Amino acid sequence: AAAEKGGHPSFMAKEIMDQPQAVADTLLGRYDADGNLVLDELRIDESALRSVDKIVVLACGTSSYAGMVAKYAIEHWCRIPVEVELSHEFRYRDPVVNPRTLVVAISQSGETMDTIMAIRHAREQGAKVVAICNTHGSTIPRESDAVLYTHAGPEIAVASTKAFLAQITACYLLGLYLARLRGNKFPDEIREILGQLQAMPDKIQKVLDGLEQVRTMARWMADTRSVLFLGRHVGYPVAMEGALKLKELAYIHAEGFAAGELKHGPIALIEPGQAVFVIVPSPRGRDSLHSKVVSNIQEINARGARTIVIAEEGDTDVVPYASEVIYVPQTPTLLAPLVTVVPLQVFACELATAKGLDVDQPRNLAKSVTVE
């Protein structure tokens, strides 16, 4: 087993380091020489894809956060409404689904029973199902109309890392493909993003090369009882995933929030010393989201929180209010989750390891949940 971990202390540590490769392999072979996408495996006829009027993403756990990222990207690029729903909630609430609905089922294992039941239900109502899956020949792809495989390689650690980045990547590919198929409304932006996507493995590598700060911080935070995570736009699912990783691996109470909700409740939790991670949108983004999140940091800093800020390189606005700033490379806003989630994965893995816990096999959890 030591050899399989390639010199890393755990499978999870290795899988985190494998992420640039997982993303590169998921992109591999899906571009033609002119930089256009070729998704031959998407075997649903083009006229059916053109007439889709709603996308429903179904998934559980970490995969559902990849789905939330997909919502922001696909709605913007394709102007199709996207709902993201936990598979187990979808199945039992009489959802509105019909032949013009495209279901995207995201699953690392392809064997999650809740998601299998949900896609069966959707197909009975005539919906087409595309699976985004990491496991060849598993049940979910077999029961779907088409599959886009993520090429993250086998994931051993129970908590998902490299499969998550590969899922997000596959969601981008699907969104960019649909945008072109349905009459691309932002040709320049789409071309730019297609190029930028190929630069992501190097950017993820840069994050991995600079992690000593996060590791040191995780080690001296080993006794922390509660950690909050705030994010906005695509930073929101990243905050949710950061909190999930900490619960799963380190058994610490952790909660992710949309930063805009702070004033509607969570700010009541802020007391001196409370650790809060904040994922800050790019200051180069279209809207004023950056300054709104910077004000959130200011507010919680004023109430004595220990703010740990994840920001884009060059963003100095956050410095006066942050106990710690973790910089990630500049990326287009919608692609940022591929870099901003990495320090959070490492934080959880390192903190759990410092507590002497088995990060590959957290208590009470299974890699693939094959019962309802």
Query: Which positions are annotated as active-site residues?
Result: 367
Considering only 108-116, 120-128, 186-194, 283-291, which stretch makes contact with ligand G6P by CB under 6 A?
Answer: 108-116
> Do residues 367 and 15 touch, judged by C-beta distance below 8 A?
no
Query: Which residues on neighbouring strands pair with residue 228, listed in sequence order?
Result: 255, 276
Which of residues 144 and 331 has its CB atom nearest to ligand G6P in the complex? 144
Contacting residue, 36, 198, 226, 368, with ligand G6P by CB under 6 A: 368
Q: How far is the CB of 364 from ligand G6P (least distance, A)?
A: 10
- Which one, 37 or 69, has the nearer CB to ligand G6P? 69
Least distance (Å) between residue 127 CB and ligand G6P = 19
Nearer to ligand G6P, 114 or 315 (CB): 114
107 binds ligand G6P (CB under 6 A): yes
Site for ligand G6P in 43-102 (CB under 6 A): 60-63
**Who's near 131: CB < 8 A, 6+ residues apart?**
104, 105, 106, 107, 110, 119, 140, 141, 144, 146, 147, 148
Chain CA centroid to CA 142, Å? 24
- Region class of 102: left (phi > 0), else alpha (psi between -120 and 50), else beta: beta
Output the smallest distance, CB 110 to ligand G6P, in A: 7
Specify whether the CB–CB gap between 113 and 370 falls below 8 A.
yes
* Nearest-approach distance from CB 138 to ligand G6P, in angstroms: 9
H/E stretch holding 348 reads: helix 337-354
Token pair listed for 231: 């994010």
Q: What binding mask, one character per residue, do residues 10-49 give for ligand G6P by CB under 6 A, x or -? A: ----------------------------------------
The encoded tokens of residue 319 equal: 């410095």
Phi-psi region of 155 (alpha: psi -120 to 50; beta: other; left: phi over 0): beta
- Min dist CB 244 to ligand G6P, Å, is 8
Nearest Cα to 241, choosing from 362, 87, 65? 65
Question: In the complex, what is the shortest distance from the CB of residue 268 to ligand G6P, in angstroms, rounded to a whole number?
Answer: 30
Residues in binding contact with ligand G6P, number by CB under 6 A: 16
Nearer to ligand G6P, 315 or 360 (CB): 360
What is the distance between the alpha carbons of residues 91 and 116, in angstroms, rounded to a whole number?
Answer: 10
Nearest residue to the partner ligand G6P, using Cβ: 61
Closest to ligand G6P by CB, 120 vs 185, is 120
- Binding residues among 153-212 for ligand G6P as defined by CB under 6 A: 158-160
**CB closer to ligand G6P out of 317 and 358:** 358
Strand blocks (E) in 275-349: 275-279, 306-312, 324-328
Closest separation in Å from C-beta 351 to ligand G6P: 18
A 10 A CB-CB count for 15 gives: 28
Q: Using alpha carbons only, what angle is made at residue 249 by residues 248 and 251, rounded to the nearest 5 degrees? A: 75
Given 10, 19, 21, 108, the residue binding ligand G6P (CB under 6 A): 108
Place of tokens 């910089």: 327
365 near ligand G6P, judged by CB under 6 A: yes
- Contact of 65 with 241, CB cutoff 8 Å: yes
Give whichever of 107 and 205 is closer to ligand G6P, judged by the CB atom: 107
Binding site for ligand G6P (CB under 6 A): 60-63, 107-109, 112, 115, 158-160, 365, 367-369
